[in-house]
Every structure is written in structure tokens, then in C-alpha cells.
């Protein structure tokens, strides 16, 4: 080896001196200089080639410099196949630089210890002090492409840590073209351009000529993915530009933004601390690229990955880019070139713009315009090939279309399911830790403490699996309100950018479109761009929200503050209280795929997590996890992980009867153990077979039996809700229910998941009269009304049938299982005017018809002067109203059986008595299983005060309806303003009659022009002095 190096030095030394003196030569001389130097490399010894059907590589056995080209001899790197001197690698170790090209001033030359061919890999080994470096060149590919995996294994064999980074310079040569034009996610990059952070493309391409002909050779550098059993390592900095500038770069470099001729690409991986015995892996891919073309008056050329891979159970690269070139083949300039992309289901835009003008928008003859999209792929359950279709149209009407397919594998999920959580150590220090979900909730720190970062929000991207995090306002690094990513292997934070808001306390992804939403303390609800971190405020609020979670449909966003649960409706734009009974100070929320919320509670010495039914407002499950961390700011739960739960919970409402059941094999089935958490407030439990349990007095029930229904009454304030939790395991088979003929029976579902009520009773549907959920006031009457929707675990129901004999109802849970759609479950708005007490014992009155009432009006039921039930109208009949029965034993007001039923209607600040015509029942409470009536009267009697109503839908695109009510005939103006207070358009300016009116705004101004997305205000002014304004959001 020494003799070889000596010969090498003698041969090239004079050429090297001459060349260094000429580094300042002009561009015209550079090709000659490179050619002369290449001739002098003929004395080098190159390894045998490695490759596949498309690609091959050689490496110099002196210093490991390598060459890449095609199997038919075309160049992809300059000098192929014999002169590997213009591309090089630099290693930065503790601020010292070492290069495998000894001509580079400012870096110490390194030479290979040895080189070998191992399993079609060229393996070159170096050592620099206590650091060992292995360079592997590995051919990879498929049936239609090939590339070389360039992989460095850098191992610290020393006794002390080292700070290690790397720079790689590739001198592109595509066929015979040393000035190959380069394409990135910014389109054609014809001037020297740098990329960093989230701007780094997932791939780049070098074309054979300025026609960008996809039928000619294309070189492609792939930056993200998993190839040859190795994860590619995106660089921290990437520059495309001029080789004569890159050749002299040791480390720092600022792109000059000038056009380049001799093209090259520069990669830089910033230094990382490598502890003794650890190995740093750096890998990238370079080889043959592909593109598609659609010819016409103008040609469309599309570059995109033909297939994705799997990394850590997730599709990769994800997101990926689709790059478009529009080449004008006509003799005329093409104006306003607009490109639109349409994606198959399973692909999502990772940006806001589906349609965009090319750059430039006006394309002269023979020139090109470019456009690019960032695309996300969902993780499929099975292998799929999905299509992205692009349509380009000019202002002249000329158009062309092209499509590109991508193969997406079904990635095998990691069998280890880790939840990720954030611990706030004091005011600003952050420890990220993992919870092994299926290993007794084992807790482990993920990396070191992040001192002074104040990370508060965290969420896992539903498509990519990347972990995002947000900073609060106590960050001492100048990154208050920043968006970060978290490395799932070591917990390292990678900043994306500033959101524009100084404290982001919570994050949540919408499954509808994979957009990231956050809560800024003191500002409100924001939507965050995951690429740039730029954000927009969508709902101003000063509520201190700690947790956020979108539902699975992407139309409701739940938010927690202390024990309060709020909900944001993306259609109406409303943000309101949903419940006040979360089981503690809830600092994190996640939505499970079964439709239940998962939350975590701040505790002093443990982490308490729970599952919560947002429809019944019930805590279903609660688990305590012992951790060394006592302040949990956020938790992120992978959606594919199952939760092996043991503690099951349900709500018990104080001062009313509750019908409950236990759908599990109870570990402690005694009545004392089951109801121990209610303490002295438990007054009585009655079972469906007539047994009674009064604590300390009597127990004729015995033990609690799965599937039996129990009527529970606990004392307390009217708004108090108890959390009744038991320990149990899932039943091996469901319990059967006994139905008595022509009388009420108590029934429960012991299936683990909700079942549609009509499916549950499918075998007896013809004999089923009514199913009543007396705890919550819901009902199912076949063919008439259904407010129950689902038979839920934990809930007991009253059932009335016309069966001739006693029957046993047995259910096949798996055969009748359904996807639980929370949007179909009951969410009835509560009356605000009529006041009544829900006692847990009800008699259902169905109103099948009545006057034309405005949505939001209230109908009340009365026994004399006592309101015993009410409902808020939604614009349609039938309506079901539970009339609540009095309970003298517990001093609860309500109806008395046999008393006459009376009705009142409240609308527009007026209340009137209305008469009813009974079809079933005899106008007295308690007559028959239920009553069915029609209300009589004219809705015109209910006109009230002048009011301006919230537009719907809100947010909207492109039109929304604005409703208002007038108390008298009068002159009205309805105007729309932007956020700056400028008048956009006038919708109404005329005299109108009393009553309800509507106006539609189609997002255009007074000049008929479309307006952009944003917050707008509409203002109602009337001649009787009313002046009201409301906000609406246009979201394109």
C-alpha cells in the first residue's frame, strides 16, 4: 500500500500544483482542466465494479473516491468509469476536517486502510485516530430502476465522545452533459440554491439536456426512504449549483444564487455527539431516475417516486414530492399556465394549494414552467398503487393532462407500541419519555432532559408517524411558540420554525385532511403549516386549553381545560362547553379509533389515563401508571396500538336513578367492592330480578353479575357526577337477556363494542315496542324515532315487547359489530328556558307533527305548573321528549301518573300554550308504554324580537347562509366587512316584513370578484335601532 501511495504522489504532484494555481480560471477553461486531471487519474487502481441490471459503481482503493454510471457505460458522476477525483467526502471530527481528496486545501488527506468486495458491496475502511469509518457502496433497485446506496458507518472506538459530521460532494455528469440541469421540489433549479430543514427535498434529478426529455438518461439523488436494509439520512443542508465552487468547500458555504454551468450537488450533515462504542450512520442514494411525459402543444414532464418503502412501520419517504415541467413546444407564448392535481383516496396534499400557476406563469416558445406539490400517503392495510392526475390549462383554453402512479406497501406495524409523553420539569425543562403500552406500562426516558425548551404540546402525524411538538412561553433558547419534530429513537428536537404565537399548549391532527391544529394561550385556536410552522388564528379565545383532539370524522375538535371539555364545530365555527365531568385536571387528549377520547390527568406521583365517551359524557376506563414524572404536559398515542385495559369506569349521576350494567368478568364482584367508590352517598341499588342492596342495611342481590341491570341512586348535588370504576376482564361470551311479554324488562349489552340498536334487536324487531335509556332520556321506537342509535356497554335499558312468552335474547357480538360513528350517536342540545329535573325514570312522549317552528325553539311538558321535560327543536318532526317521573322518596319533582299532559312552546322570547291531539295514550302521564301526539297552532303567533343568527355553514367555501328575524316590518341593511373593517359587499338594503329572512353570500365583493380566505364580519342594522355583528370564516 505504501508503494502504491508513493507512485500516486509522484505522478500527480506536478499536475496538482499546476491545477491549484488555476483554480481561479474562468468557466471556459474549467472543462479543459477537468479533462487534463482525469487523464492523470489513469494510474489509479479501481475496484471491480458492483451493480445490477441498471447501475454500476467503482471505487479507488487508495482513498475510496467513487464513480457511478449505468451498465451501458453512460456517466452519472464525472469521470466514470475510470477517474474518480471530482467527487469527494469530508469528515468533520471535533472541528478538524479530513478528506479523501488530498488536493483540497484546508482538510487533512485520509487514505483507505483496506478495500474489499463483499456480497456485491464495495467496502472501504478508514480510521482517523479513535474513529473508524466504513464506506459501503451497495447496488439497490427494482425491475425498472437502479441506484447505489452510499452508506457510511462511523464508529467511535475511543474512550471519549467525539463530535462528528460529514460533507459529500457529487459532481453530476449525465451522459455527455457536465452541465446537467437540476430539478428539486422547488422546480427547475437553474441557479445555485440551498435547502435546509423541512425545505430539503425527498429527491432531486439531473437531466441529460435542456429539453428535460424523460426518454434520455436521468440521474436521481434520493434523500428519504429505506433501501438495502438502511434508513436514508436526510442532510441538514443541501446545495445544488456550480462544481467549481463546491470543489473547494471544506464545510461552510453560502449559495450565490447565480446561474451554474458545471452542475454538482453538495450534502452536509451537521456534527452530532457520538459516544464511545456508538456508531453514526449516514446514508444516501444516487442512481438512475425516471419521469413521465405527455406530448402536445405543450409537453408535460412529471417526476415522482414510482414506489415508496417502509421505515419503522411507516410509509417512507412521506411526504414526497411530485414535480412538473411544462415545456412550450409551440411558436407562441403560453399565458397563465395553471396546474391542478387530483389525488386518489389514500393520498393527501401536504400544502394548501391544489391548483397553482407555474413558475413562470407565462412560458415563451421553447422555454419551461414548473410546479411542485408535497404529497402525503396514508399507511394502507394492504399493498396499493395510487394515481396522481395533473391537468394544465392555459388562458387560451389549450390543455394537457398526465398521471403518475406510486406503489405504496402495507408496512408491518411495530409490535412494540410506545406512547410518547412530555414531562415538564419546573418552569422550562422538558423530559420526553415513552410508555410501553403492552408491557405493564413500563416508563423509560427518551434521551436527555431538554433544558430550557418548555415543550408543551405533542402529536403523532396520522399518515407519516412523525412526532411533532410545540413550545410554550418559558423557552430560554429564543424558540417560544416554535414547532419541532421529535426523533422517536433518541428524543432529539428538530426545530421547524416559529408559529407566530408565543405559547402553544396543545396539538392535534385532523384526520379529514391531515392538517395540524394547535392552541395558543391568550390567542386561541390556530392551524399550523407543518412545513413552515406558519399559522393562522381561526378562533380567538383566552380560555386556558391544555389538550386537543379531533374526532375521527374531522368535524369536531375537543379541548380540555381542568375538568371541562369544550368542542369546536368546524362547520358552524362554534366553540362551546360540552361537559364538565372530566375526571381531573386533564392536560392531554387523544381520540381513539373507536371514537372514545383518551386523556391524561395531572397527578403528583403517577400518570392517570382514561377513556371517555363524548356522547354519554361518561368515563369508561381509567388506569394509573407509576412514573417518576409528576407533571405531564402532553401525551401522543399511536393510533394502531391496542390498549389492554383492566379498569372499567362509568358515570353515576347524583340525585337521579341510573341504569347500569357490568359487561366484564369482575375481579371483585361483591356489592360492597363494586360500589365502594360511591361511599356513603350510595343510597340504594335495585337489580332487574327485584333484589335490593342498601349499604350497611340489606343485601338480597348478592354479588354483581355480568349482564344484569342495576338501578342505582346516589345522593349529591344535582350537577355532581361520580366515577364508578371496577376491575374486570373481557367476557369470553356475552350474557343473554331475559324478555318478559307485554311488560317492561331490563336489558343490557355485554358486547365489548357498541351495536346499532336495530341490529341488536333484529331477531324480535316485529314484537319490539320501545327501548328506553332512562338514565339519559333516549329512546328507540321502531319505525317512528331513534335517539339511542347504539346499544352501549355499561348502560342498562328498559324494553317493552309484545312477545307471547318469556324469551332469552342471545347476541352474536362479532356478527353484529359495526363501526361506531359518533356523528350518528345522540348529541341533543339542552333546553335553556324550560327548567326541569331529570330523575332517571321517564315516560316518552313523541311529537310526530306540529307548527313550523324555528330551529332552536323549545317545547316543554308540564304537569300543572311543574315542567317535567323539554326538548330543543331542530326543524323537523318527530321529536321525543322524556317526561321525568316524580320520586317522593328522594324529594325529586316530576310528573305524577294519571295527571293530564300540557305543552308550551318557547320561540323568539315568547312562550305560549299549545294544544295536542293524541294518537297513542289518553292525554295522561303514564298511559301505555309511550304517547304519540300532534301539536296544534300557528307558528306565526311566535314571531319575536329582532335577532341576527350565526351563518351556516361556518367555516364555509364558497357560500354561506345568514339568517335573521324581524319583530316588525322595517328597513334593513346587511353588509359584509373584512378584518380591516373595509366594506366587501351589501347583501340586503330594503324594507322587509316581520318574521324570518335569509341572505346568501357567495364570497364575492361588490365588483363581482372572488375574495380570499380569511375572517369576515357581517352586520345587521334596522330602522328600529338594532345593530348586531357576527364573525364568519371563509376557508378555501
Q: How far is CA 452 from CA 386, 447, 468, 475, in A?
A: 44, 15, 18, 5
Set of cell numbers at residue 474: 418559558
Q: Residue 197: CB partners within 8 Å, gap ≥ 6? A: 236, 494, 495, 496, 497
Q: In terms of pLDDT, which residue wins out, 204 or 225?
A: 204
Q: Among all chains, which residue has been given the C-alpha cell 318574521?
A: 995
Q: Among all chains, which residue has been given the C-alpha cell 409528576?
A: 630
User: Residue 817 half-sphere exposure, CB side, CA atoms within 13 Å?
Assistant: 10
Structural domain includes residue 239: yes
Short-list 187, 241, 206, 192, CA closest to 367: 187
Structural domain includes residue 728: no
Q: How far is CA 732 from CA 518, 664, 729, 819, in A?
A: 42, 9, 9, 21
Q: Is 394 helix (H, G, I), strand (E, B) or coil?
A: coil
User: Has residue 8 got a pLDDT over 60?
Assistant: no
Set of cell numbers at residue 830: 339542552
Phi, psi of 239, deg, nearest 5 = -130, 135
Lowest mean pLDDT, pick from 5-14, 212-221, 394-403: 5-14
Domain identity same for 510 and 533: yes
Question: pLDDT at position 846, please?
Answer: 97
Round to whole Å and give the CA distance between 485 and 420.
Answer: 13
Q: Among all chains, which residue has been given the C-alpha cell 318469556?
A: 806
Cβ neighbour number for residue 231 with a 10 Å cutoff: 17
pLDDT-derived band of residue 645, with 50, 70 and 90 as boundaries? low
Domain end, chosen from 584, 619, 645, is at 645
User: Residue 824 half-sphere exposure, CB side, CA atoms within 13 Å?
Assistant: 12
Question: What share of the chain in percent tops pLDDT 70?
Answer: 91
Short-list 570, 501, 561, 493, CA closest to 529: 501
Average predicted confidence (pLDDT) for the chain: 87
Round to whole Å and give the CA distance between 284 and 332.
Answer: 42
pLDDT-derived band of residue 82, with 50, 70 and 90 as boundaries? confident
Tens of pLDDT, residues 522-541: 999 999 998 889 999 999 99
Mean pLDDT across 773-779:
93
Structural domain includes residue 158: yes
pLDDT-derived band of residue 822, with 50, 70 and 90 as boundaries? very low
Domain identity same for 938 and 951: no
Mean pLDDT across 945-955:
85
Set of cell numbers at residue 891: 324529594
Domain identity same for 208 and 120: yes
Short-list 782, 801, 778, 802, CA closest to 791: 778
The whole model's pTM is what?
A: 0.56
Round to whole Å and give the CA distance between 499 and 481.
Answer: 6
Domain identity same for 629 and 541: yes
Domain identity same for 103 and 246: yes
Domain end, chosen from 915, 942, 969, is at 942
Q: In terms of pLDDT, which residue wins out, 327 or 752?
A: 327
Q: Indicate which CATH number applies to the domain containing 467.
A: 2.120.10.30
Question: pLDDT at position 550, please?
Answer: 94
Short-list 353, 387, 346, 386, CA closest to 372: 353
pLDDT-derived band of residue 478, with 50, 70 and 90 as boundaries? confident
Q: Is 673 helix (H, G, I), strand (E, B) or coil?
A: helix
Q: Indicate which CATH number applies to the domain containing 378.
A: 2.60.40.10
Q: Residue 175: CB partners within 8 Å, gap ≥ 6? A: 74, 75, 208, 216, 217
Mean pLDDT across 1006-1020:
93
Structural domain includes residue 716: no
Domain identity same for 877 and 1010: no
Pairing of strands 947-948, 930-935: unpaired
Domain identity same for 256 and 299: no
Q: Indicate which CATH number applies to the domain containing 883.
A: 2.60.40
Q: Residue 981: CB partners within 8 Å, gap ≥ 6? A: none
Question: Domain range for residue 957?
Answer: 947-1034
**Partners of residue 906 on adjacent β-strands:** 858, 911
Structural domain includes residue 430: yes
Burial class (CB in 10 A: 0-12, 13-18, 19+), 673: middle
User: Has residue 824 got a pLDDT over 50?
Assistant: no
Round to whole Å and give the CA distance between 286 and 288.
Answer: 7
Domain identity same for 280 and 301: no
Q: In terms of pLDDT, which residue wins out, 601 or 240?
A: 240
Set of cell numbers at residue 1009: 370578484
Domain identity same for 72 and 164: yes
Q: Indicate which CATH number applies to the domain containing 283.
A: 2.70.98
Domain end, chosen from 578, 613, 645, is at 645
Set of cell numbers at residue 21: 494555481
Domain identity same for 373 and 308: yes
Round to whole Å and give the CA distance between 67 and 73.
Answer: 12
Question: pLDDT at position 19, please?
Answer: 36
Structural domain includes residue 182: yes
Mean pLDDT across 363-378:
89
Domain identity same for 907 and 962: no
pLDDT-derived band of residue 823, with 50, 70 and 90 as boundaries? very low
Mean pLDDT across 683-696:
94
Tens of pLDDT, residues 575-617: 999 888 888 888 888 887 767 788 888 665 667 788 787 876 7
Q: Among all chains, which residue has been given the C-alpha cell 365531568?
A: 581
Q: In terms of pLDDT, which residue wins out, 458 or 213?
A: 458
User: Has residue 45 got a pLDDT over 70?
Assistant: no
Short-list 1035, 1036, 1026, 1032, CA closest to 984: 1032
Structural domain includes residue 686: no
pLDDT-derived band of residue 624, with 50, 70 and 90 as boundaries? confident
Structural domain includes residue 658: no
User: Has residue 945 got a pLDDT over 80?
Assistant: no
User: Has residue 9 got a pLDDT over 50?
Assistant: no
Round to whole Å and give the CA distance between 187 and 214.
Answer: 15
Task: Count up the domains in the chain and report the number.
Answer: 6
Question: What share of the chain in percent tops pLDDT 90?
Answer: 53
Q: In Å, how far from its chain's centre is CA 779?
A: 35
Tens of pLDDT, residues 962-978: 988 887 789 999 999 99
Q: For the residues of 189-242, what is the DSSP string, one character each?
A: E-B-EEEEGGGS-SEEEEESSTT--TTS-EEEEE-SSEETTEE----SEEEEEE
Round to whole Å and give the CA distance between 307 and 315.
Answer: 10
**DSSP label of 943:** -
Q: For the residues of 599-638, what is the DSSP string, one character each?
A: EEE--SSEEEEEEEETTTTEEEEEEEEE-S---EEEEE--
Question: pLDDT at position 646, please?
Answer: 65
Question: pLDDT at position 417, please?
Answer: 77
Round to whole Å and give the CA distance between 181 and 192.
Answer: 11
Question: pLDDT at position 31, please?
Answer: 53
Question: pLDDT at position 640, please?
Answer: 67
pLDDT-derived band of residue 265, with 50, 70 and 90 as boundaries? very high
Q: Among all chains, which residue has been given the C-alpha cell 460533507?
A: 167
Domain identity same for 36 and 90: yes
Taking a C-beta distance cutoff of 8 angstroms, is the pair 872, 828 a contact?
Answer: yes
Question: pLDDT at position 127, please?
Answer: 94
Lowest mean pLDDT, pick from 183-197, 299-313, 633-647: 633-647
Round to whole Å and give the CA distance between 545 and 586.
Answer: 9
Tens of pLDDT, residues 848-861: 999 888 888 999 99
**Partners of residue 373 on adjacent β-strands:** 322
Amino acid at each position: 500500500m505504501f508503494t502504491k501511495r508513493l507512485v500516486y504522489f509522484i505522478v500527480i504532484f506536478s499536475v496538482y500544483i499546476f491545477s491549484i494555481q488555476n483554480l481561479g480560471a474562468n468557466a471556459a477553461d474549467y472543462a479543459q482542466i477537468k479533462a487534463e486531471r482525469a487523464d492523470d487519474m489513469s494510474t489509479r487502481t479501481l475496484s471491480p465494479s458492483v451493480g445490477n441490471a441498471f447501475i454500476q459503481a467503482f471505487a479507488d482503493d487508495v482513498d475510496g473516491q467513487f464513480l457511478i454510471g449505468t451498465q451501458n457505460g453512460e456517466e452519472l458522476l464525472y469521470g466514470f468509469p475510470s477517474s474518480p477525483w471530482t467527487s469527494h467526502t469530508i469528515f468533520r471530527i471535533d472541528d478538524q476536517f479530513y478528506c479523501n481528496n488530498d488536493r483540497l486545501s484546508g482538510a487533512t488527506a485520509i487514505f483507505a486502510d483496506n478495500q474489499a468486495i463483499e456480497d456485491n458491496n464495495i467496502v472501504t475502511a478508514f480510521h482517523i485516530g479513535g474513529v473508524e469509518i466504513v464506506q459501503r457502496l451497495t447496488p439497490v433497485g427494482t425491475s425498472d430502476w437502479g441506484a447505489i446506496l452510499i452508506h457510511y458507518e462511523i464508529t467511535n472506538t475511543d474512550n471519549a465522545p467525539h463530535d462528528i459530521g460529514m460533507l459529500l460532494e457529487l459532481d453530476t455528469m449525465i451522459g455527455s452533459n457536465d452541465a446537467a440541469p437540476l430539478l428539486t421540489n422547488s422546480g427547475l433549479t437553474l441557479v445555485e440554491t440551498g435547502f435546509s430543514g423541512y425545505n430539503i427535498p425527498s429527491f432531486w434529478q439531473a437531466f441529460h439536456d435542456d429539453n428535460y426529455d424523460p426518454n434520455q438518461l436521468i440521474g436521481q439523488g434520493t434523500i428519504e426512504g429505506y433501501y438495502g436494509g438502511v434508513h436514508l439520512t436526510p442532510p441538514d443542508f443541501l446545495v445544488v449549483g456550480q462544481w467549481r465552487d463546491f470543489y473547494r468547500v471544506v464545510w461552510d458555504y453560502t449559495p450565490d444564487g447565480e446561474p451554474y454551468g458545471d452542475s454538482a450537488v453538495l450534502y452536509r450533515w451537521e456534527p452530532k455527539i457520538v459516544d464511545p462504542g456508538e456508531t453514526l450512520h449516514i446514508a444516501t442514494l444516487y442512481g438512475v431516475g425516471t419521469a413521465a411525459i405527455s406530448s402536445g402543444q405543450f409537453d408535460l414532464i412529471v417526476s415522482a417516486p414510482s414506489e415508496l418503502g417502509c421505515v419503522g412501520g411507516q410509509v417512507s419517504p412521506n411526504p414526497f414530492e411530485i414535480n412538473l415541467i411544462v415545456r412550450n413546444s409551440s411558436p407562441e407564448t403560453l399565458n397563465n399556465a395553471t396546474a391542478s392535481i387530483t389525488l386518489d383516496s389514500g393520498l393527501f396534499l401536504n400544502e394548501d394549494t391544489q391548483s397553482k400557476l407555474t413558475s413562470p406563469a407565462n412560458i415563451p416558445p421553447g422555454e419551461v414552467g414548473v410546479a411542485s406539490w408535497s404529497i402525503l400517503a396514508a399507511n394502507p392495510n394492504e399493498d396499493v398503487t395510487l394515481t396522481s392526475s395533473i391537468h394544465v390549462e392555459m388562458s387560451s383554453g389549450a390543455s394537457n393532462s398526465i398521471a403518475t402512479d406510486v406503489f405504496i406497501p402495507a408496512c408491518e406495524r411495530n409490535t412494540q407500541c410506545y406512547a410518547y409523553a412530555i414531562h415538564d420539569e419546573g418552569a422550562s425543562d422538558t423530559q420526553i419519555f415513552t410508555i410501553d403500552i403492552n408491557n405493564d406500562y413500563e416508563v423509560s426516558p427518551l434521551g436527555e432532559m431538554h433544558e430550557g425548551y418548555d415543550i408543551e404540546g405533542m402529536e403523532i402525524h396520522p399518515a407519516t408517524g412523525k412526532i411533532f411538538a410545540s413550545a410554550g412561553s418559558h423557552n430560554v433558547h429564543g424558540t417560544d411558540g416554535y414547532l419541532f419534530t421529535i426523533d422517536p429513537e433518541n428524543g432529539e428536537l428538530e426545530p421547524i420554525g416559529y408559529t407566530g404565537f408565543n405559547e402553544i399548549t396543545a396539538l392535534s391532527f385532523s384526520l379529514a385532511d391531515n392538517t395540524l391544529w394547535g392552541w395558543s394561550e391568550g390567542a386561541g385556536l390556530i392551524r399550523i403549516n407543518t412545513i413552515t410552522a406558519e399559522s393562522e388564528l381561526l378562533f380567538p379565545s383566552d380560555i386556558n386549553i391544555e389538550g386537543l383532539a379531533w374526532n375521527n370524522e374531522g368535524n369536531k375538535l375537543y379541548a380540555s381545560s381542568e375538568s371541562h371539555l369544550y368542542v369546536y364545530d368546524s362547520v358552524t365555527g362554534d366553540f362551546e362547553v360540552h361537559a364538565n365531568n372530566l375526571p381531573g385536571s386533564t392536560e392531554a387528549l387523544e381520540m381513539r379509533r373507536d371514537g372514545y377520547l383518551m386523556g391524561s390527568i395531572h397527578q403528583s406521583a403517577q400518570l392517570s389515563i382514561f377513556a371517555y365517551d363524548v356522547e354519554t359524557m361518561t368515563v369508561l376506563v381509567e388506569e394509573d401508571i407509576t412514573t417518576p414524572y409528576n407533571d405531564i404536559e402532553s401525551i401522543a398515542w399511536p393510533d394502531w396500538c391496542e390498549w389492554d385495559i383492566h379498569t372499567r369506569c362509568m358515570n353515576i349521576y347524583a340525585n337521579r336513578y341510573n341504569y347500569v350494567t357490568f359487561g366484564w368478568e369482575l375481579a371483585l364482584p361483591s356489592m360492597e367492592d363494586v360500589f365502594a367508590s360511591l361511599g356513603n352517598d350510595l343510597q340504594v341499588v335495585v337489580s332487574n330480578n327485584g333484589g335490593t342492596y342498601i349499604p350497611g342495611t340489606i343485601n338480597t342481590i348478592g354479588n354483581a353479575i355480568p349482564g344484569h341491570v342495576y338501578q342505582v341512586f346516589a345522593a349529591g348535588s344535582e350537577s355532581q357526577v361520580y366515577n364508578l370504576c371496577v376491575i374486570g376482564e373481557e367476557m369470553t361470551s356475552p350474557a343473554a337477556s331475559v324478555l318478559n311479554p307485554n311488560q317492561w324488562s331490563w336489558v343490557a349489552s355485554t358486547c365489548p363494542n357498541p351495536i346499532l340498536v336495530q341490529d341488536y334487536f333484529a331477531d324480535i324487531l316485529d314484537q319490539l315496542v320501545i327501548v328506553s335509556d332512562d338514565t339519559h332520556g333516549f329512546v328507540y321506537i321502531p319505525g317512528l324515532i331513534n335517539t339511542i342509535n347504539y346499544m352501549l356497554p355499561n348502560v342498562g335499558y328498559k324494553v317493552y315487547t309484545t312477545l307471547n312468552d318469556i324469551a332469552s335474547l342471545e347476541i352474536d357480538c362479532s356478527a353484529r359489530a359495526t363501526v361506531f360513528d359518533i356523528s350518528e350517536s345522540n348529541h341533543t342540545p339542552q333546553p335553556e328556558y324550560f327548567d326541569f329535573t331529570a330523575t332517571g325514570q321517564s315516560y316518552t312522549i313523541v311529537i310526530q307533527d306540529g307548527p313550523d317552528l324555528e330551529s332552536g325553539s323549545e317545547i316543554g311538558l308540564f304537569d300543572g305548573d311543574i315542567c317535567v321535560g323539554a326538548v330543543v327543536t331542530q326543524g323537523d318532526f318527530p321529536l321525543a321528549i322524556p317526561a321525568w317521573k316524580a320520586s317522593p322518596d328522594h324529594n325529586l319533582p316530576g310528573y305524577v301518573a294519571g295527571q293530564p299532559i300540557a305543552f308550551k312552546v318557547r320561540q323568539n322570547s315568547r312562550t305560549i300554550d299549545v294544544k295536542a291531539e293524541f294518537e297513542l295514550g289518553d292525554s295522561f302521564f303514564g298511559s301505555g308504554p309511550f304517547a304519540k301526539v300532534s301539536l296544534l297552532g300557528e307558528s306565526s303567533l311566535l314571531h319575536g324580537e329582532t335577532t341576527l343568527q350565526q351563518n351556516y355553514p361556518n367555516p364555509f367555501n364558497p357560500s354561506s347562509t345568514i339568517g335573521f328575524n324581524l319583530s316588525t316590518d322595517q328597513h334593513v341593511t346587511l353588509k359584509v366587512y373584512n378584518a380591516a373593517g373595509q366594506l366587501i359587499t351589501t347583501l340586503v338594503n330594503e324594507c322587509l316584513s316581520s318574521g324570518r329572512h335569509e341572505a346568501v353570500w357567495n364570497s364575492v365583493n361588490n365588483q363581482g370578484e372572488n375574495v380570499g380566505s380569511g375572517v369576515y364580519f357581517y352586520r345587521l342594522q334596522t330602522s328600529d335601532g338594532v345593530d348586531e355583528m357576527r364573525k364568519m370564516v371563509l376557508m378555501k
